[in-house]
C-alpha cells in the first residue's frame, strides 16, 4: 500500500480491506487503539479480538473545515462580518486555512508513524506534493475565471503561482519530510522519551519561526512601483491595454506590518514578480481603500496609491510561517499515536491548546498583531490553539461519548474533502452548471436558485446565506453518495 496519499479526505477504516485517501494518509492513519493492548475495557473484554477503531472526529474536523471554507467564500460578500479581516485582526474566516494546515499535520503524524523505507516515503510525499501544487496552479492561477465568467485561459505572463492548494502542498511536504527524517527511532514510554523522539521537529519549527520573524522585521523594504491596471474599481483579470500608468510607493523602512511596506510583499515582488501576485487582496476592503469597508467598494477620496497594488495572501514568506501550523498538528498527532487512552490524550491536547492560545495573545500585547495576510507568529499561535480546542471538543463528542449522528454530514464530507473542495470551493461545479443556460447566461440553475431564495427571504443577504447553506448540504449528500459507492478521490 502507498505510504502517503495527498488528498483532503481521510484514510484507515476499521475494516482493514477498505482504503480511503487522505490529505496525507497511510495504511491505518486514522486507526488508533483507544486502550492499551494489556488493558481490557468494558467494550473490549480480555481475550477478545479487537480491530483498531477509527478516529471519526478527524473526518468531522476535515468536513467542518471544508464546509466553513464554502460558507465564508460564497457568503462572505453578502456578510462582510464573516469574511476575512481586511488586514489586522481575525474573523471566523481567518481560522479556516490554519485548520486545514493543522489537520494536515495531525494526519502526517499518523501516516508516517511507520516508515520502513525513508527514501521511498520521501519520493511518494514529494510526488504528491507536486501534484497538489500543480492542481492549485491550474485551479487558482487564473486559468479558470469562475462561476460568473464562462471563459477560461490566462496569459502566462500573469499567472498566479501561489494559492491555497499550493500552500497546503508546501506545508504537507515540510511536515512529511520532517516526520520521515527527523524523528528518532526510540520507543516512547515516558514524557522524556516523547520529547527526545520529536525534539528535532520542534527545533525545526522554532528555526522556521525565527527565520520568518528575522525577515519580517529585519528586511529593508525600499521604495517600489507597480503598474496600475485600472482605477477606482476592483481588479479581476489583467488584460493587455488596460494599464494606465505607474505608481510609486514610498517605503524605505524595516519592520513595517502595514499593507504597502511589509517584508512579505517585498519578498514576493522580488522573487515572483508583480505580474504573478494576487490582484484583489483583502486590504482593498480597508477604510483607506473602500467606501464600503469592511466590504469591497469604490476608492474613497484621496485613497493611497497602494490600494491598487497586488499582494499575494499565500505568498512565499507567509507560507513559510504557515507551514509551522502543520508542525503544531504533528504534535497533536503524536499525542494521538502514543497516548492509548482518552484522558491523557485530551489532557495533553488541552494543555497544548491553552499554551498556544495564551502565547498568541501575549505576542499580540507585545506588538505582534494578528494578521492572516502576513501570517504573523501571533496569528499562527492563536489559530493553532483554537484548532486544537476544536479537535479536542470534536474528539470528546464523537469518539469519547460516541455522539456521531449530529455530525454525520460533516463526516461524509471529510471522507471526500478533496473532491468537495475542488468542485465547490474552487467553483468548478457551479461554473460547469452555469455553462447550461436558457437564452441568456443569467438564466442558469445556480443563479436562478440563488435569486429565488433571495426573493423568498426578501433579502439579498439572507437569501445568499440560505443558498450557501443549501449548497453545503448538497455537497454533504454528494459526499455521502460517493462514500456509499466506495469512491474516494486521491492524487
CB of 333 within 8 A of CB of 25? no
- Kindly report, residue by residue over 38-97, the tens digit of the pLDDT: 334 444 444 444 455 678 999 999 999 999 999 998 888 788 778 899 999 999 999 999
Q: What is the pLDDT of residue 427?
A: 83
CB of 263 within 8 A of CB of 321? no
Question: Quick check: is 182 in a domain?
Answer: yes
Q: What is the pLDDT of residue 48?
A: 41
Question: Quick check: is 428 in a domain?
Answer: no
Q: What is the pLDDT of residue 243?
A: 53
Cell of 415: 471522507
- Kindly report, residue by residue over 114-124, the tens digit of the pLDDT: 888 999 999 99
Q: What is the pLDDT of residue 30?
A: 54
Question: Quick check: is 247 in a domain?
Answer: yes
- Kindly report, residue by residue over 436-485, the tens digit of the pLDDT: 888 888 888 888 898 999 999 999 889 999 999 999 999 999 999 999 98
> b/e map of 190-229 (b: 16 or more CB within 10 Å)?
eeeebeebbeebeebbeebbeebeebbeebebeebebbbb
- 195 versus 231: the higher-pLDDT residue is 195
Cis peptide before 294 (omega within 30 of 0): yes
Q: What is the pLDDT of residue 227?
A: 86
Count: domains in the chain: 1
pLDDT at 24 over 80: no
Cell of 156: 502566462
Q: What is the pLDDT of residue 144?
A: 83
Q: What is the DSSP letter of 246?
A: E
The domain of 191 spans 86-228+243-402
Q: What is the pLDDT of residue 244?
A: 63
Question: Quick check: is 188 in a domain?
Answer: yes
User: If you average pLDDT over every residue of the chain, what do you get?
Assistant: 85
| pTM for the model | 0.86
Question: Quick check: is 198 in a domain?
Answer: yes
Q: From CA 201, how far away is CA 204, in angstroms rounded?
A: 5
153 — alpha (psi -120 to 50), left (phi > 0) or beta?
left
Phi, psi of 332 (to 5 degrees): -65, -35
pLDDT at 212 over 80: yes
Give the per-residue SS3 of 458-486: CCHHHHHHHHHHHHHHHHHHHHHHHHHCC
The runs of H, that is alpha helices, within 395-459 are 408-415, 417-420, 428-434, 445-457
Q: From CA 172, how far away is CA 102, in angstroms rounded?
A: 10
Q: How confident is the model at residue 209 (pLDDT cuts 50, 70, 90)?
A: very high
Q: What is the pLDDT of residue 151?
A: 80
Q: How confident is the model at residue 6 (pLDDT cuts 50, 70, 90)?
A: very low
Q: How confident is the model at residue 145 (pLDDT cuts 50, 70, 90)?
A: confident
- Kindly report, residue by residue over 371-415, the tens digit of the pLDDT: 999 999 999 999 999 999 999 999 999 999 999 999 999 999 998
pLDDT, average across residues 182-193: 89
pLDDT, average across residues 103-118: 91
Strands (E), 197-346: 220-221, 224-228, 245-249, 253-254
The number of helices, as runs of H, and strands, as runs of E, in the chain is 14, 6
Q: What is the pLDDT of residue 96?
A: 93
Query: How do beta strands 31-32 and 53-54 pair?
Result: antiparallel
Amino acid at each position: 500500500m502507498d505510504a502517503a496519499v495527498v488528498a483532503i479526505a481521510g484514510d484507515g477504516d476499521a475494516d482493514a480491506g477498505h482504503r480511503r485517501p487522505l490529505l496525507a494518509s497511510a495504511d491505518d492513519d486514522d486507526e488508533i487503539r483507544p486502550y492499551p493492548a494489556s488493558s481490557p475495557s468494558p467494550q473490549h473484554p480480555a481475550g477478545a479480538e479487537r480491530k483498531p477503531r477509527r478516529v471519526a472526529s478527524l473526518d468531522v474536523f476535515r468536513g467542518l473545515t471544508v464546509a466553513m471554507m464554502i460558507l465564508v467564500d460564497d457568503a462572505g460578500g453578502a456578510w462582510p462580518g464573516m469574511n476575512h479581516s481586511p488586514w489586522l485582526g481575525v474573523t471566523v474566516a481567518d481560522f479556516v486555512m490554519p485548520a486545514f494546515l493543522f489537520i494536515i499535520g495531525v494526519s502526517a503524524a499518523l501516516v508516517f508513524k511507520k516508515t520502513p523505507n525513508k527514501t521511498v516515503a520521501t519520493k511518494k510525499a514529494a510526488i504528491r506534493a507536486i501534484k497538489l501544487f500543480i492542481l492549485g496552479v491550474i485551479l487558482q492561477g487564473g486559468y479558470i475565471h469562475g462561476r460568473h465568467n464562462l471563459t477560461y485561459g490566462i496569459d502566462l505572463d500573469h499567472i498566479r503561482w501561489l494559492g491555497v492548494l499550493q500552500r497546503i502542498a508546501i506545508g504537507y511536504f515540510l511536515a512529511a519530510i520532517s516526520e520521515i527524517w527527523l524523528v528518532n527511532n526510540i520507543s516512547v514510554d515516558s514524557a522524556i522519551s516523547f520529547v527526545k523522539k520529536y525534539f528535532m521537529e520542534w527545533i525545526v519549527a522554532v528555526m522556521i519561526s525565527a527565520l520568518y520573524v528575522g525577515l519580517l522585521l529585519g528586511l529593508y523594504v525600499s521604495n517600489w512601483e507597480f503598474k496600475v491596471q485600472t482605477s477606482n474599481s476592483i481588479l479581476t483579470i489583467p488584460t493587455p491595454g488596460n494599464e494606465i500608468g505607474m505608481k510609486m510607493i514610498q517605503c524605505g523602512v524595516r519592520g513595517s506590518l502595514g499593507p504597502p511596506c511589509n517584508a512579505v510583499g517585498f519578498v514576493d515582488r522580488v522573487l515572483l514578480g508583480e505580474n504573478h501576485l494576487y490582484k484583489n487582496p483583502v486590504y482593498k476592503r480597508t477604510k483607506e481603500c473602500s467606501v464600503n469597508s469592511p466590504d469591497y467598494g469604490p476608492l474613497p477620496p484621496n485613497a493611497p496609491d497602494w490600494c491598487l497594488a497586488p499582494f499575494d495572501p499565500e505568498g512565499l514568506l507567509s507560507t513559510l510561517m504557515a507551514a509551522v501550523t502543520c508542525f503544531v498538528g504533528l504534535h497533536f498527532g503524536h499525542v494521538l499515536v502514543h497516548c492509548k487512552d482518552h484522558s491523557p490524550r485530551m489532557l495533553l491536547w488541552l494543555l497544548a491548546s491553552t499554551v498556544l492560545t495564551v502565547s498568541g495573545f501575549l505576542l499580540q500585547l507585545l506588538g505582534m498583531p494578528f494578521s492572516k495576510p502576513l501570517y504573523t507568529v501571533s496569528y499562527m499561535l492563536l489559530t493553532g490553539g483554537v484548532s486544537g480546542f476544536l479537535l479536542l471538543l470534536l474528539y470528546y463528542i464523537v469518539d469519547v461519548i460516541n455522539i456521531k449522528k449530529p455530525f454525520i454530514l460533516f463526516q461524509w464530507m471529510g471522507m471526500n474533502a478533496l473532491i468537495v473542495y475542488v468542485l465547490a470551493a474552487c467553483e468548478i461545479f457551479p461554473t460547469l452548471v452555469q455553462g447550461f443556460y436558457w437564452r441568456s447566461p443569467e438564466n442558469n440553475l445556480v443563479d436562478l436558485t440563488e435569486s429565488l431564495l433571495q426573493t423568498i427571504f426578501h433579502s439579498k443577504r439572507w437569501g445568499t446565506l440560505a443558498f450557501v447553506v443549501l449548497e453545503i448540504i448538497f455537497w454533504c449528500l454528494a459526499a455521502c453518495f460517493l462514500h456509499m459507492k466506495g469512491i474516494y478521490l486521491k492524487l
